[in-house]
Structure 1
Amino acid sequence: MRRLIYLLIACLGTIPLLAEATLDSSWTLQQRTPFNAKIQTVKSIQYKQLTSAKKPWQICALVPHLKDAYWIGIDYGLVSKASQLGINLELFEAGSYYRKEQQLKQLEYCLNQPFDAILLGAVAPNLLDNYPGQINKPIIALVNRLDNPMITTRVGVNWYQMGWEAGHFIAKAVKKIPPSSPVTLALLTGPESVGGSDWVELGIQDAIANSHIEITSIRHTDNNRDLYRDQLHNLLNDHIPSYIIGSAVAIEAAIGTLQHKQLIGQVKLVSSYLSPATLRGLHRNKVAFSSDDQVVLQGKLAIDIMVKLLEGAQSFGDIGPQIQALEQGKVQLDMFNNSLAPASFYPIYRVTPKTNL
């Protein structure tokens, strides 16, 4: 029943998506080298997007989950661009970063069905090493890196840089605090060593390396608000840090937890990526900082690049939007069309050319 509802939404909702998808003829992007490296050289480019496809290609998209605003934003970008180009898209979610076997089954399905190509938001960098069969279709890494020589195009940002931006903000903010006054930092960056959490933590650590900031706690859990509330409860019972850097879901949970414990203002919150709740927190001075990697644009770009590859283009390497550094009190709520799905959007799992009514 749930899937039927999503398909109905896809049929009814593509007209506004199509209208929005045609607003810009080109995007300002970054190409990064070396491919999949932690430290990269960045080249700014103007990328001209497609306005049509040569045929109704069939694309399979695999993502870890659709449980938070990040991947829902990716979904919105995928759906809007697929609708605009008149191609077929089917999306499958593994359900969690801890469900590698489920994603491998979904990969097997997409390889054996009449899909032309696969967009793979992998639950683990080594996912393809665990696939025993033959891979005979083009695969683009979507958001998360894939450590496999057959992958030569990845759409996303550098997650080390996402963490570095967050850590750099804190390092700048505490420069005027005397070294004798301890500045403590707790990390709640997401599932351990999957997605981008490991590189986010490395970026944070490098950004604060020459400061007097001490990381006093590193905690991991799946991106679930209730699980983060438990982690926050344990953290704050153990000690009260000066700053908490976390995933957007962790920071969303922290806003309410700090308010309940009357710690607003005493503990500053920094988000490693953007969500509607963290954006409101920035606007209301409840969140000090957030990195923003423009996930809607990433979804649109992934579809656009995959169609170009299917129509004869060469690999695009490591490519994606520029990371935006957002500080509290300096954001306007209506300037994030490339970053967040509309509040009215619900996940859509299938787009067909017939839905372009």
Structure 2
Amino acid sequence: MKFLKGTLKVAAVSCILASTAGAALAEDAKPWWPNSADKIVGDKVETYDYTPRLVPPSRKWNICVLLPHLKDTWWVGIAYGAMTEAKRQGVKASLFQAGGYTELNKQLSQFDDCITSGANAILISAISEGALKPKIEQARAKGVKVVAVGNPISGVELDAAVFGDYNVDAGVAGRALVEYLKAHGKDKARVINFAGVAGAGWAEQAVRGWAEAFKGTGVEVVELKYGETGKAEQLKLVEDVAQTYDDIDAYVGVPVMAEVAPDVLDQVGQKDKVVIAAFYLTEGAMQGVKNGDVLGFASNPMTVESAVAMDLAIRVLEGETVPARLRMPPVWIDKTFIENNDMTKFSPPSGWNVTYTVE
């Protein structure tokens, strides 16, 4: 099977570089570099090996990290990568999470608090692109650097950005699903897409990615089911679909759906009929892949993604020129991949507790 693969390469020389990078760098940091990255300029994509700063910054910069929530492994992984890299490089970092995509006002208030507290830079995963644009413009006018991470932001100038194109992620997962269905005699299939939060840029990107992957195949998206990505909301959506349809071949979409769907499908006698695939990672979805309830998911290495974002913020503060837009290429992750690869690039290490402050 051929999929888009962002090969994650950690060379022995990187360990040597890390060990000689300077006493001010944290000695317990696990090297995540060099890592494949896509530099994006317009329609042009240049892939290269990204390596972070390996010398201490000129001062202890103050950096805020603003995330929508910490309800699943994806966002905990983003927190892990950013805060661990901040510690490695010896800067001050403060992590804030709004509590969910319904908590826009809280994120806006947290953005203001970061400015008031004297942050030199803000790493932002925006709940709403439109609502954050004026805040970003005001911050940059005051000299505060702004780096987007995780969720896409367009239509406003940033100092740097690193996030996946969720249409690419969903496309990787969609093509994997099509190949799997064909291999199992399914040239035609009916699919429900649990798309995520209605109107969110990342959700609409993913919808396009699934559609593009299924274009020209016998796979039909019967319905788009939008909703908050918490377990309670996704459970309601899955129960509704399971009670409405008995002729569906696959559920695709957000990984929280993949966490709750197997039990629901088992209860209605459809577990062996419906294949499940997702376009990013949560711990529950990964466990589902391990035990055979979930076919797989596409994911970029989000702990690396946020580490890169933190490094970009520090580089900008140090006066370096950085790429305006980077993407960590996604890979298709199934049971075989999990058994043969270092998954700490995709999720925080077991037992890691969220760190809200690095001094």
Q: TM-score, normalised by structure 1?
A: 0.86
User: 1:175: how far off?
Assistant: 3.8
Partner of 2:81: 77
Contact 1:273–1:293, Cα closer than 8 Å, also in 2:
yes
Partner of 1:221: 227
Per-residue displacement from partner, 1:200-238 (whole Å, max 9, x unpaired)? 001100111101111112111111112111111100110
**Taking structure 2 as the reference length, what is the TM-score of the superposition?**
0.85
Counterpart pick for 1:247 among 254, 267, 270: 254
* Greater Cα offset, 339-348 or 203-212: 339-348
**What is aligned with 1:26?**
34
Shift of residue 182, structure 1, vs aligned partner: 4.4
Asked if the contact 2:147/2:160 (under 8 Å) is kept, the reply is: yes
Indicate yes or no: 2:49 matched with 1:41: no
Alignment CA distance shift 1:116-1:23 (3 Å):
same
CA distance, structure 2, for counterparts of residue 205 and residue 105 of structure 1: 36
Distance 1:46 1:178, change over 3 A: closer
The CA deviation at 1:267 is 0.4
Percentage of pairs with the same residue: 19
1:73–1:176 CA distance, 2 compared to 1 (3 A): closer
Contact 1:156 1:298 in 2 (8 A): yes
Match of 1:296 in 2: 303
2:216 match: 210
Match of 2:61 in 1: 57
The amino acid that maps onto 2:238 is: L
Provide the rounded CA distance (Å) in 2 between the counterparts of 1:207 and 1:194.
20
Q: Judging changes above 3 Å, is the alpha-carbon distance between structure 1 residues 253 and 173 closer, same or farther for their aligned structure 2 residues?
A: same
1:355 is aligned to: none
Aligned equivalents of 2:289 and 2:267: distance in 1?
19
Deviations 1:233-256 (A, max 9, x none): 100110031011121111111122
Aligned partners of 2:188 and 2:217 also within 8 Å: no
The 1:344/1:19 distance shift into structure 2, 3 A limit, reads: farther
- Equivalent-residue separation in structure 2 for 1:132 and 1:213 (angstroms): 41
Query: Structure 1: which amino acid aligns with 2:290?
Result: H
1:234 to 229, 240, 247: 240
- Per the alignment, residue 91 of structure 2 pairs with 87
Structure 2 gap ranges (5+):
1-24
Q: Check the 8 A contact 1:189/1:250 in 2, yes or no.
A: no
Deviation digits for residues 247-302 of structure 1 (CA, Å, limit 9, x no counterpart): 11111111222233342221000011112222222222221121011111112111
Q: Corresponding residue for 2:145?
A: 138
2:175 to 151, 168, 177: 168
Matches within 5 A, 1:121-160: 121-131=125-135, 134-135=138-139, 136=142, 137-160=144-167
Q: Distance in 1 between the 2:311 and 2:159 partners?
A: 16
Aligned partner of 2:193 in structure 1 is 187
1:51-71 Cα shifts (integer Å, max 9, x gaps)? 322211100111111111100
1:277 aligned onto 2:284: yes
Distance 1:174 1:132, change over 3 A: closer
Distance 2:125 2:251 in 1: 27
Displacement of 1:44: 1.1
Given that 1:188 and 1:250 are in contact with CA atoms closer than 8 Å, whether structure 2 keeps it comes out as yes
CA distance in 2: counterparts of 1:106 and 1:204, whole angstroms: 34
Q: 1:334 to 1:19 in 2, by over 3 A?
A: farther
User: What is the distance in 1 between the residues matched to 2:170 and 2:127?
Assistant: 19
1:18-47: CA deviations, max 9, x gaps? 55534345222111232xxxxx43211122
Question: Cα RMSD (Å) of the superposition?
Answer: 2.2
Alpha-carbon distance between aligned partners in 2 of 1:56 and 1:184, rounded to the nearest angstrom = 54
SS in 2 for 1:313: coil
